[in-house]
Amino acid sequence: MDHAQALNQRREETARAWAISRGAVLVPAGLMLPVAGTDQFHEFHPHPEHAYLAGASAPAGVLAFDPGAGWTLFAHVPGEDEVVWTGAGEPLEETAAKTGLDRVLPLAALGQWLERRRGEPIAIIGNRDLLTDPRGYGLASFDHLELDVDEELSALLSLSVSESRRAKAPDELEHMRLAAQASRRGHLAGMRLARAGITERQLQVEIEAEFFREGALRTAYSSLVGSGPNGAVLHFAPSPKPMRDGELVLVDAGAEWQQYASDVTRTYPVGQRFEGVHRDLYALVLQVQAEAIAGVRPGVEFKDLHLGAANTLAAGLVDLGILRGNPHDLVDRDVHALFFPHGLGHMLGLSTHDAGGCLAGRQPSDRFGLKWLRADLPLQPGYVVTIEPGVYFIRALLTDPARRAAFADAVAWERVDAMLDLGGIRIEDDVLVTDAGAGVLTAAIPKSIAEIEAIRREALA
């Protein structure tokens, strides 16, 4: 099945799930966002619901559905001035062939299409800027059309799309595999380049250059590079800080392929070897990750995987003399979360933190050890989740007097005080849930101590 056929099948299934008998559904891509005070625009990202259903990624596109007429894409056609400055863009016939849509019309026809549905219920998913900025879509106003925008229905249909987006189709997985391949090339380059004197920013630039050389059009998210203490900031933007021997460097960077994200973290020594407590902690995080990946299978609750990982981590920290007590009790008291405050992972796809992470009706917990868990649902075949345990020495948490008093018995504070500049270790892979268990899309990116040290030895020889 080619990509256009896959998109047609996706739209048919979506229409069946929506089961609406009258009215229409609009799925706008969104408009370019101006950079305030300039004549420039921010980089454009189509709304994932538009990208998912239309298979198109240009600004100001509107995918429209009507249970009688089926699907129509209204696409922006550049005027002469725009052609002069930015080019003619993709011809509508080409968009039609790529997306499998029979009807791809100029955006100028959207007004008439809506006129014919005057008084009918309309659901709007995708980007809501159609309502606040109709002129950007070539409509004089939205109100004069006297359309009945049904907010409840809109939310319901959007939820239905989020649920469909959880299990990836073969064409989506192909994009995600290519994203993973580009990420591999970048991470390998980073592992070879890192050394004392190189800045975090230099490492970022070279990693991203490899993503782009492989064919990725952009990064899936802003790359994170934190060396030494900077590795303790969960989302640390690369700085001009040079790396130093004896430090670890944490690199969280992923390539995007046809809107599909990869999300990968590797942590390695700035020198040739993982030394001392770095080595112990790295081995522990790797073990936590391996156990979590081994636990991935259809039906398993992601929250249980998270709590299992928390238990293994707590047990390991007890063994290393950093925590004291029974691991289960420590996790019940959220002591592990002082060192592992984020969730085990999240859904991945058209967004880095993809839609549909929580089952309908489930609310995020306000418990310290669970409040940043972004996925709470039973896994099913076709889902792609990240598995990304970590251990961090975060001063804001570990020097807080209230926490130190509350956990006086549970944490070996004198040991922790000696490690406040250690930074952090995170190991993150993208994992496809299969009938048999797990398929790791990013498995070819080295992470064992032996593999990483072999690369580092060769790089620094």
Task: Indicate whether 386 belongs to the interface with Mn ion (CB under 5 A).
Answer: yes
Question: Which runs of consecutive H residues, i.e. helices, occur in 141-255?
Answer: 151-166, 170-193, 200-214
Q: Which is nearer to Mn ion, 55 or 190 (CB)?
A: 190
Provide the b/e sequence for 301-325 (b: ≥16 CB within 10 Å).
Answer: ebbebbbbbbbbbbbbbbeeebbee
Task: Indicate whether 208 belongs to the interface with Mn ion (CB under 5 A).
Answer: no
* Nearest residue (beta carbon) to Mn ion: 263
- The distance of Cα 53 from the centroid of its chain, to the nearest Å, equals 19
Q: Which is nearer to Mn ion, 253 or 310 (CB)?
A: 253
Structure tokens at 256: 């995007």
Q: Which is nearer to Mn ion, 61 or 390 (CB)?
A: 390
- CA separation for the pair 158, 149 (Å, rounded): 14
**201 CB burial (10 A radius; 0-12, 13-18, 19+):** middle
Any idea which residue has 């993809």 for tokens? 354
Do 141 and 115 contact (CB within 8 A), yes or no? no
The one-letter amino acid code at 396 reads A
With CB under 5 A as the contact rule, the residue among 49, 208, 256, 263 that binds Mn ion is 263
Task: Indicate whether 171 belongs to the interface with Mn ion (CB under 5 A).
Answer: no
Stretch that binds Mn ion, among 92-100, 379-387, 400-408, 436-444 (CB under 5 A): 379-387
Stretch that binds Mn ion, among 24-32, 94-102, 256-264, 295-303 (CB under 5 A): 256-264
Stretch that binds Mn ion, among 218-226, 272-280, 381-389, 404-412 (CB under 5 A): 381-389
Q: Which is nearer to Mn ion, 183 or 386 (CB)?
A: 386
Smallest distance, Å, CB 319 to Mn ion? Answer: 27
**167 CB burial (10 A radius; 0-12, 13-18, 19+):** middle
- DSSP assignment of 262-294 equals ---EEEEESSSS--HHHHHHHHHHHHHHHHHHH
- CA separation for the pair 261, 349 (Å, rounded): 6
User: What are the residues facing 68 on neighbouring strands?
Assistant: none
Stretch that binds Mn ion, among 260-268, 294-302, 316-324, 374-382 (CB under 5 A): 260-268
- DSSP assignment of 226-253 equals EEGGGGGSTTPPP-SPBP-TT-EEEEE-
Smallest distance, Å, CB 386 to Mn ion? Answer: 4
Smallest distance, Å, CB 353 to Mn ion? Answer: 7
Smallest distance, Å, CB 384 to Mn ion? Answer: 11
Smallest distance, Å, CB 340 to Mn ion? Answer: 14
Do 194 and 209 contact (CB within 8 A), yes or no? no
For Mn ion, what does the binding mask look like between residues 212 and 251, x meaning CB under 5 A?
----------------------------------------
Smallest distance, Å, CB 439 to Mn ion? Answer: 18
Stretch that binds Mn ion, among 36-44, 273-281, 322-330, 378-386 (CB under 5 A): 378-386
- CA separation for the pair 246, 228 (Å, rounded): 8
Do 124 and 149 contact (CB within 8 A), yes or no? yes
Residue 451 C-beta-side C-alpha neighbours within 13 Å: 12
Do 155 and 162 contact (CB within 8 A), yes or no? no
- The distance of Cα 397 from the centroid of its chain, to the nearest Å, equals 26
Stretch that binds Mn ion, among 80-88, 140-148, 306-314, 382-390 (CB under 5 A): 382-390
In total, the chain counts a number of residues equal to 461
Q: Which is nearer to Mn ion, 125 or 355 (CB)?
A: 355
Stretch that binds Mn ion, among 163-171, 234-242, 255-263, 333-341 (CB under 5 A): 255-263
Total residues at interface with Mn ion (CB under 5 A): 2
- The distance of Cα 15 from the centroid of its chain, to the nearest Å, equals 26
Smallest distance, Å, CB 300 to Mn ion? Answer: 19
Smallest distance, Å, CB 249 to Mn ion? Answer: 17
Smallest distance, Å, CB 390 to Mn ion? Answer: 10
Binding site for Mn ion (CB under 5 A): 263, 386
